[in-house]
Structure 1
Amino acid sequence: MHPATPPTTGTPAVPVHRTPVRRRRLIRGMLAAVVALPLVLGAAGCGGDEDASTDPNAPVKLSVFWWGGEARAKLTEEALALYTKKHPNVTFEKTWQANQGYFDKLATLTAGGNPPDLFQIDDNYLAEYASRSTTLDLTPYKDSGDLDVSKFPKSLWQYGVVDGKLAGLASGENTQGLVYNKTLLTKNGLPEPTTGMTWEEHIAWAEQVAKKTKVPGTQDPSADYKAFWVWLRQQGKDLYKGRELGFTAEDVTKWFDLWKGARDRGATPTPDVIHEGNATDITKQLVVTGKAGTSWVWVNQMPELKKNTKDELGVIAYPGDPSAQWARASMYWSVFKGSKHKDVAVDVINFLANDPEAVKILGTDRGLPSNLDLRRVVSDDVTDPAMKQSIQVESDLAQKFGEAPQVPLKGHSKVRAELIKAAENAQYGRISSAQAAEQFIAACKSAIA
């Protein structure tokens, strides 16, 4: 269950940032040492936690690695500088790059024995890195309160759990959004789509739009794993179940056939245009290039879409029961299990999520703040109308969200790519829906093996 939207007035009472976890553990360790001095003397040769045995004021340098553009880099560097201001002995070696090639670089650093202390990751790779024992289990820090998730939606922090271990802390929240061209509809006297429409109702609506405007009503999302995943959950299935796929070839066939019917009715673009939507980035989605009335995106991508069109855009949940959607971690912060300063690294990610000044600096760049009290503060400061729209829609949907699914398995990125390949084979009519589904299942099983 998700808490209700925070009150609209007043400033939330947020505790001041506490003594760094490393120092607190040192104090507890000193007290324990006094009580158990004979035991300590008897075990003088035993090793201990490297963080806990060091001077809490000794210099610490943490390496941090993330992806994003210059705007994200500026905000992140400013927030890390604030941490250093409050903890002068801690400094950062910062590295960032564009999303493309990021995980290749992270894999190289990890394989070379030189991974960053702190790194950004998403749900496409979290299980993979956790299964390699690359990520530190944050559960003990959460249980002790050193990593505070008390103000997070429960399903948001739980979406970082892999095999019973908390592998990453959500740096922000996001969910799926169906974006539509409101100007096109208004100009032609057509109704706007609404949350709760069935998939069949959505396709019928899109067909109506196409007939009236000559613009296909909706992008065909049969290659979009986000849409497929939501649809599966509405059928009582899921993308993954334990260490296996959560769906069958019959499910995939039904999904592909649903959209074949939509294409046959002219509700979607032609395969070449559908492919264009599949292959381009967010700035060239069909809803902003005028080649379809809707696009299937993440809610927090509204501002980027809006920059690329003069038309007014609207956004709602995907078709069907909205409880199939969930509070998805837009991305995570993870700590390298072998970090020499793991306690300090955990304290940094706790700071980035829960310190009022840091959260205001970071804003909505990585999604809506995970801390619900601070989310309201940040929302009040947002001036971009498209981002305000995103925040409002996600706040409304938060009251309808269901339980989070398990974090995707290792090989998820390959599963996503194989869905595009299979869907496009069906879209172009190269093979039947059933044949495409069988090929997809076989490729998926190989990817997650």
Structure 2
Amino acid sequence: MHPATPPTAGAPAGRSHRTPRRRLLRGLVALAVAAPLVLGAAACGDDDSAGDDGKVKLSIFWWGGEARAKLTEDALALYTKKNPNVTFEKTWQANQGYFDKLATLTAGGNPPDIFQIDDNYLAEYAARNTTLDLTSYSDSGKLDVSKFPKSLWQYGVVDGKLAGLAAGENTQGLVYNKTLLTKNGLPEPTTGMTWEEHIAWAEQVTKKTKVPGTMDPSADYKAFWVWLRQQGKDMYKGTELGFTVEDVTRWFELWKGARDRGATPTPDVIHEGNATDITKQLVVTGKAGTSWVWVNQMPELKKNTKDELGVVAYPGDPSAQWARASMYWSVFKGSKHKDVAVDVLNFLANDPEAVKILGTDRGLPSNLDLRRVVSDDTTDPAMKQSIAVETELAQKFGQSPQVPIKGHSKVRAELIKAAEEAQYGRLAPAAAAALFMDACKSAIA
């Protein structure tokens, strides 16, 4: 979820819009395969040299669905309208396979000038010397982060270098079916309820409605991470794991107890929730009373149900949640047009018209002044709800954690595997936890 949108099964490997796929990235400098020394040399060449006609063509690559593609292309078209000498080679695809494709492009010497990335991979790409350090641009004001929450832009710093600019702010949200609860005279969940209280509430929902009260989030790294922070731990500490096998065992045991009480769906339905994209989450398919998502996904969820939805923080102390960069824009270090690429990033984050176009698709606007403008201008009730909830939660946010270390994406995948071993009853919680810890140590080695 990529938190962002989870992968869509069977999604195409790549799509171009308005320009043929074969022309993607044409005109970029040829690079040796993944050689940091060559990347550094390219960065010192005739950067930002336009063609003979003075025109610049930037390649840009992102993941998302049709809606995100349309919004992004509209914003880029506005940039070209204001800067006629700059045009774009635009390519996008679903989350599934996106980072495989990005790795292939980078290793093969055809990286895009600008690419979307998230906190699963930012540290890894920064360590490969692939991302341009944006610090000098932010220091000079060419990349204006003065209206960003400090913790938000700092969540893009890796080893002292600003490796990515937050494309939006997000946080974890527990989305529930308000219509289901109201119809059955049941109370709504509230921010601040404990995990045990949430499970007890979900058990009552199941008994009264015959709809399982809550999706089982034991495979969801977002929920696990928040829970860890509430225990005084964290996902990572420096270059190591920030938790122990005992912590994982307690987490798996918590949700085994919930399953045993009927508070969650059956394992097959839980797996469906683990494996499907945001449009098919259990809260909108009617297979559970809640889903564990990102707050900015509320509009997309709402499109897929006639029921009214509500959203609160994850259970426990809400100060464990933070102003997360939903995803980032990064610039390839070897781009021939670095200055122009950075100007595009600044435009997408700080131009009032562009920010209105992009809305909350990639999270709440990073620029706090423009976030208020988007909230005032939007006619989308779900978007207003997303902004209002996160604005309220922002008063309770704690300090951001460090950007996840290399191997985080593998850790996420291994949590799903281990949690499902426990969900299906193939392993006891302690054994599943041990399996997960071994896989984590291998992933970050």
TM surpasses 0.5: yes
Q: 2:282 aligns with which of 271, 282, 286?
A: 286
Structure 1 gaps of 5+ residues are 1-46
Relative to structure 1, is the Cα distance of residues 274 and 48 closer, same or farther in structure 2, using a 3 angstrom cutoff?
Answer: closer
Report the counterpart of residue 418 of structure 1 in structure 2.
Answer: 414
Q: TM-score with structure 2 length normalisation?
A: 0.87
User: Which residue of 251, 254, 261 maps to 2:257?
Assistant: 261
Deviation at residue 52 of structure 1 after TM alignment: 7.2
Query: CA offset at residue 207 of structure 1?
Result: 1.3
Say which one has the larger Rg. 1
Tell me by how many angstroms 1:70 deviates. Answer: 2.7
- Which residue matches 1:440? 436
Cα distance in structure 1, aligned partners of 2:44 and 2:325: 34
1:333 aligns with 2:333: no
1:397 aligns with 2:393: yes
Change (3 A) 1:92 1:339: same
Separation in structure 1 between the aligned mates of residue 200 and residue 308 of structure 2, nearest angstrom: 22
Partner of 1:309: 305
1:23-42 aligned at under 5 Å gives the runs: none
Write the deviation string for residues 192-251 of structure 1: whole angstroms up to 9, x where unpaired.
Answer: 110000111111111121222222211111111100000001111111111111100000
How big is the shift at 1:90?
2.0
Residue 81 of structure 1: how far off its partner (Å)? 2.3
Secondary structure of the corresponding residue to residue 59 of structure 2: strand
Moved over 4 A (4+): 52-57
For residue 55 of structure 1, report the CA deviation from its aligned partner. 10
Aligned to 1:248: 244
Task: State percent identity of aligned pairs.
Answer: 89
- Structure 2 counterpart of 1:205, one-letter code: W
What secondary structure does 1:64 align onto?
A: strand
| Alignment correspondent of 1:189 | 185
Give 2:405's aligned residue: 409
Displacement of 1:88 in angstroms is: 2.5
Take 2:369 and 2:272, find their aligned partners in 1: how far apart are those partners? Answer: 40
Correspondence for 2:233 among 233, 237, 240: 237
> Which amino acid letter does the alignment assign opposite residue 403 of structure 2?
V
RMSD of aligned Cα (Å): 1.8
Look up the match of 1:111: 107
Q: Secondary structure at the match of 2:196?
A: helix
Q: Name the aligned partner's letter for residue 217 of structure 1.
A: G
Note the 1:14-53 alignment, pairs <5 A.
50-51=46-47
Q: Does 1:275 align with 2:271?
A: yes
Output the CA distance in 2 between the equivalents of 1:426 and 1:48: 52
Match of 1:375 among 365, 371, 376: 371
Q: Give 1:260 deviation, angstroms.
A: 1.0
The 3 A distance-change label for structure 1 pair 52 and 91 is: closer
Mapping of residues 114-263 of structure 1, within 5 Å: 114-263=110-259
**Which whole-Å CA distance do the structure 2 matches of 1:49 and 1:246 have between them?**
41
**1:386 counterpart = 2:343:** no
In structure 1, C-alpha distance between the alignment counterparts of 2:415 and 2:225, rounded to whole Å: 11
Corresponding letter in the other structure for 2:54: A
Structure 1 window deviating more from structure 2 (208-217 vs 393-402): it is 208-217
Q: Which amino acid aligns with 2:277?
A: D
Kindly state the Cα deviation for residue 381 of structure 1 after the two structures are TM-superposed: 1.8
Q: Report how many aligned residue pairs link the two structures.
A: 403
Unaligned 5+ segments in structure 2 are 1-42
Distance verdict in 2 for CA 1:76–1:52, change over 3 Å: closer
Q: What is the CA-CA distance between 1:73 and the residue it aligns to?
A: 2.2
Aligned residues of 2:113 and 2:341 also touching (Cα < 8 A): yes
- Residue number among 427, 430, 436 corresponding to 1:431 in the alignment: 427
- Secondary structure class of the residue paired with 2:379: coil
Q: Secondary structure at the match of 2:187?
A: coil
With normalisation by structure 1, the TM-score equals 0.86
Q: Which one-letter code corresponds to 1:262 in the other structure?
A: A
Separation in 1 of the partners of 2:414 and 2:375? 38
What CA deviation, in whole Å up to 9, does each residue of 1:99-137 have, x standing for no partner?
222212111110011101111111111111111110001
Where does 1:4-83 land on structure 2 (aligned, <5 Å)?
50-51=46-47, 58-83=54-79
1:79-98 alignment runs, 5 A limit: 79-98=75-94
- Match for 2:302: what amino acid? K
Change (3 A) 1:55 1:67: closer
